[in-house]
Amino acid sequence: MEKELLVYIDGEYYPKSKAKVSVYDHGLLYGDGVFEGIRAYSGIVFKLKEHVDRLYRSAHTIMLQIPVTKEEMTKIVLDTLRKNNLKDAYIRLVVTRGIGDLGLNPKKCPKATIIVIADTISLHKSEAKEKGVTAMLSWVKRDPVDATTHEIKSLNYLNSILAKIEANISNVDEAICLDKNGFICEGVAENMFIVKNRRIFTPPSYTGALPGITAEAVTKLARKLGYEVIEKNITPYELFNAEEVFFTGTAAEVVPVREINKRQIGSGSPGPITKRLMEEFPKLVRDPSEGTPIYQ
């Protein structure tokens, strides 16, 4: 019988089947908390420092006091991987407001809850990177920067879930969210890039999109490979008429898009720049200088 994975919760490790939080936890009751999705490749946790830093920025924004230091949090993540004897994994790092009462007042939650899950994840079918995925523009607008902005990686993903439901109903792989002005913002859990005239464009962060760590890494990689990467507002017209479109994300990595709202993108197959980035990205994530080793 295969040994169960262990989940870290507030200083203890529990078998996956017995890992639980209180029904009075405000993360469950109100989506009050923050999280990070992190990947480990061949014993290297890719961009762990950057993920932990972003977690603390999100927590600071919602005035959530994390009860451990960044260094202690890093050790918790690495120890969870070691406990599970993992070299390749998807890590979900979660901090909730903690246990309170049935009112929403955060003052009623004396201490935050920390959870670390180390497991695997699969967002798309295996042929997605070979053929590209289909997508659609959703009616669900991204929350603006003066509301529950997606610059905060919070536990409230209802905005994304509604868009994903629409994609499921429409039988496409992914949904694309617009900002309140109608410009392209991001996918439900991925950043977006388009290619036109061998230049790469991506929406600016002030649209309310999450400043993606994988997106930043891919941007630097593209520039290193000699491509110009420009942040600008992108219209649906520009999206439909792009030569290439691709998503990036920790779970998704780099995924080409072949069709949006029944419009073929470029040749209908992954384009040369997207393919080049997909070839180089696996080398990047396994570079020890780009992450933190699990076993030393």
**Residues forming a β-bridge with 193:** 246
Write down the catalytic residue from 153, 180, 262, 283: 153
Residue 156 DSSP one-character state: -
For residue 162, the surrounding DSSP H or E stretch is helix 158-169
For residue 174, the surrounding DSSP H or E stretch is strand 174-178
Q: What is the largest CA-CA distance in the chain?
A: 56
Nearest to 217 by CA among 39, 35, 34: 39
Structure tokens at 209: 């999109």
Up-side HSE of residue 221: CA atoms within 13 Å toward CB?
24
**Rounded-to-integer distance, Cα 248 and Cα 101, Å:** 38
Number of H helices and E strands in the chain, helices first, is: 8, 16
Q: 153 catalytic, yes or no?
A: yes
What are the residue numbers of the active site? 153
